[in-house]
């Protein structure tokens, strides 16, 4: 029951998609700070390599970049092949890579719909499926492997912006999480989702001109999310403490969904 045993993840191997910035970077940093070997993937190669080097130096761990575009099934298969050339097993898969799209209802484009749904939902499913054998390698009844899908509170409540495909995709992520959890739990792989609220990122930032002050004022916790908030929740789910949590979608939003009577930008 000691905390160092309940939350121990040292010696494990993780793959974090979209791991070079934003929430993905925060999760990768949390893993590295606690002794996990981390592979991060992203589409922008120079930024990815720089971030992997920076995180490795900062935390004294191994952060290995895998340049990849998960927007297509070919990209999914390429990531699996590249990862498999380094490792023959995987303990934690964090499906974080995603895209958003905002456009007026009257002119919302097919391209904006397909790009978001393909990356946020389709690639998540096929990457999880194609890595299942590696996730099963070290999984056991007492210490299952983990898949953590990054959803959004926009998939729970109606978003304030015209991000129709994004909101639909994140609702799909939450339900897909339950379906995958039911399928994989017997293989000693637990699947859960996290639905973040506002965190500093290149996804939310441009929509608010990187000024989060008005969001902070309306948040029940009076701030936006920090790296410790999201990394701590991921560590819980990946540790002994979270080994009995299955198929859940956990909000990480300062109380917007469950402790607020207004929308998060009202």
Catalytic residues: 166
Tokens found for residue 119: 């990356």
Rounded Cα distance, 104 and 88, in Å: 46
Tokens found for residue 261: 């009577």
Task: List Cβ<8 Å contacts ≥24 apart for 185-188.
Answer: 185/246, 185/247, 187/132, 187/135, 187/136, 187/139, 188/136, 188/139, 188/140, 188/141, 188/144, 188/145
Per-residue b or e along 48-58, where b marks 16 or more CB atoms closer than 10 Å to that residue's CB: beebbeebbee
Rounded Cα distance, 219 and 213, in Å: 10
């Amino acid at each position: 029951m000691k905390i160092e045993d309940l939350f121990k993840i040292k010696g494990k191997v993780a793959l974090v998609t979209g791991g070079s910035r934003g929430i993905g970077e925060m999760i990768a940093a949390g893993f590295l700070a606690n002794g996990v070997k981390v592979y991060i993937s992203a589409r922008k190669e120079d930024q990815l390599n720089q971030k992997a080097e920076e995180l490795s130096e900062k935390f004294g761990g191994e952060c290995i970049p895998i340049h990849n575009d998960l927007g297509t099934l070919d990209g999914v298969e390429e990531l699996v092949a590249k990862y498999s050339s380094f490792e023959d097993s995987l303990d934690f898969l964090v499906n974080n890579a995603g895209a958003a799209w905002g456009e007026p209802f009257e002119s919302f484009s097919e391209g904006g719909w397909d790009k978001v749904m393909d990356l946020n939902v389709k690639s998540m499913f096929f990457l999880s499926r194609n890595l299942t054998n590696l996730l099963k390698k070290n999984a056991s009844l007492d210490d299952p492997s983990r898949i953590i899908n990054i959803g959004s509170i926009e998939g729970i409540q109606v978003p304030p912006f015209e991000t129709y495909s994004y909101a639909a995709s994140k609702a799909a992520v939450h339900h897909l999480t339950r379906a995958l959890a039911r399928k994989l739990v017997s293989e000693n792989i637990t699947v859960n989702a996290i639905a973040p609220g506002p965190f500093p990122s290149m996804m939310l930032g441009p929509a608010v001109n990187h000024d989060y002050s008005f969001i902070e004022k309306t948040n029940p916790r009076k701030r936006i999310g920090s790296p410790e908030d999201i990394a701590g929740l991921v560590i819980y789910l990946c540790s002994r403490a979270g080994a009995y949590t299955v198929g859940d979608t956990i909000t990480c939003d300062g109380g917007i969904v469950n402790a607020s009577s207004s929308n998060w930008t009202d």
